[in-house]
Amino acid sequence: MKAIIEINNNSIQVDLSKPIDISLAVKDLNKAASAWNVGSSKIEPVVRGDWIGSVAAGAAVNFNNIHFNPHGNGTHTECIGHISREFHSINQCLKEFFFLAELISVSPQIIGNDKVISRQQIKEGIEQKDFQAIIIRTLPNNDEKKTRNYSNTNPAYLAEEATSYIREKGIRHLLIDLPSVDKEKDNGKLLSHKAFWDYEGKQLMDATITELIYVPNDVSDGSYLLNLQIASFENDASPSKPVLYRIEI
C-alpha cells in the first residue's frame, strides 16, 4: 500500500506493505541477545494449584507471565529518565512515532583495548543530511548479533564527541545495534548518554536512545521513514519495535 507522507517539511512516498523490522524480540530462549548479566528472559504459564495457564496442559487459554529486563533483553528505547535522579517515563517523553531517519554503517576504530565510533566517522555519514533519527549499524555485521550475550565483552561504543555531534545536528532519536552507546565498564561516567540528552545543559526530554537493534545486510545505507513503536510502560525504558520503510520518492 503506497502512501504519501508529510514529514520534516518533506513529502515522501513509502510502501506500507513492505516494513523492515530492525528489532530483536524478547523471547524465552538462552540464545536471545542479552547484556548486563541479566540472564535470559522467561515466558512461562501462570500456575495456580493444579491449574496451569497453557492450552497444551489442558487450560482454555495460554496465560503467561513474562520476566525480562528492558535494558538487557532485546531491543529497547530509553529516555533521559535512564540516567536522571528524577523519574521520567519513556511513555511520557516519546509522543511522536514517525521520523525521517538515516541509516549509516560504521567500522569502529581500535583504540587500545576498545572499539570506538568517532565523531569523524559519524560526521562523514551525515554531514550533508537533514533528518530526525540516526540508525547506526556496526561492521562487521552478521546474524550472530541476534543471539550474542554481550555481558563482560567490552562491546564497541560511541565516543562522547560523536554523540555530541549527533545532538548538535538536531537529531533527537539515536538507534544503534549495540547494548549501549557507552563503554560497558566506565565507572558510571555515561559520557555518551549525558552528551546526547545534554544532561548538564537544557536536557532534551523528547530525545530517545534505542539499543540492541539489528539491521540485516540487505538493507542499504540511506534515508528511510522510521516508525518507532514502544509498549506503554511507565518506566525509563520500554521494549520497542523500530520499523523502517524505504523512501520511493
Query: Mean pLDDT, to the nearest integer, of 189-193?
Result: 98
Domain covering 2-24+69-246, topology: Glucose Oxidase; domain 1 (3.50.30)
pLDDT of residue 31: 83
Tens of pLDDT, residues 74-99: 999 999 999 999 999 999 999 999 99
Tens of pLDDT, residues 62-73: 999 999 999 999
pLDDT of residue 90: 98
165: nearest Cα among 204, 198, 201: 198
What are the domain boundaries of the chain? 2-24+69-246
Residues 6+ apart with CB under 8 A from 84: 199
Residues 6+ apart with CB under 8 A from 128: none
Is pLDDT at 127 greater than 80 in this prediction?
Answer: no
Whether the link from the prior residue into 140 is cis, omega within 30° of 0, is: yes
Q: What is the pTM of this model?
A: 0.96
Distance CA 138, CA 81 (A): 26
pLDDT of residue 7: 86
Query: Mean pLDDT, to the nearest integer, of 105-122?
Result: 98
